[in-house]
């Protein structure tokens, strides 16, 4: 008799949108809008999903590097 398949467990990803305060949700929305805009400028309108994701990652890496520089 085969074993029943287990349902995949989800990874915890932090507070959900419902758990965020309105101020934090507004900030997140603004950051996402700016991130998408900057990534689109870097790769252009006809970029693939992977190119857009790579550009978004590069922008976030730059932001976090800058934040670390300012902290030191």
Q: How is the chain classified by DSSP, letter by letter?
A: -PPPPPPPPPPP-SS-GGGS-HHHHHHHHHHHHHHHHHHHHHH-TT--HHHHHHHHHHHHHHHHHHHHHHH-
At residue 67's C-alpha, the angle toward residues 72 and 21, to 5°, is: 125
Is the entire prediction scored with pTM above 0.75?
no
The number of distinct structural domains making up the chain is 1
Residue 57 located in a structural domain: yes
Residue 5 located in a structural domain: no
Mean pLDDT, residues 53-69 taken together: 95
Range of the domain at 50: 20-71
Residue 4 located in a structural domain: no
> Per residue in 10-42, pLDDT tens?
666 666 656 889 999 999 999 999 999 999 999
Cα–Cα distance, 72 to 68 (Å, whole number): 6
Residue 38 located in a structural domain: yes
Residue 28 located in a structural domain: yes
């Amino acid at each position: 008799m085969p074993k029943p398949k287990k349902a995949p467990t989800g990874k915890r990803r932090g507070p959900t949108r419902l758990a965020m305060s309105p101020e934090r949700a507004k900030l997140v929305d603004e950051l996402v809008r700016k991130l998408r805009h900057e990534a689109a400028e870097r790769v252009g309108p006809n970029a693939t999903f992977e190119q857009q994701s790579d550009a978004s990652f590069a922008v976030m890496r730059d932001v976090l590097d800058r934040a670390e520089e300012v902290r030191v």
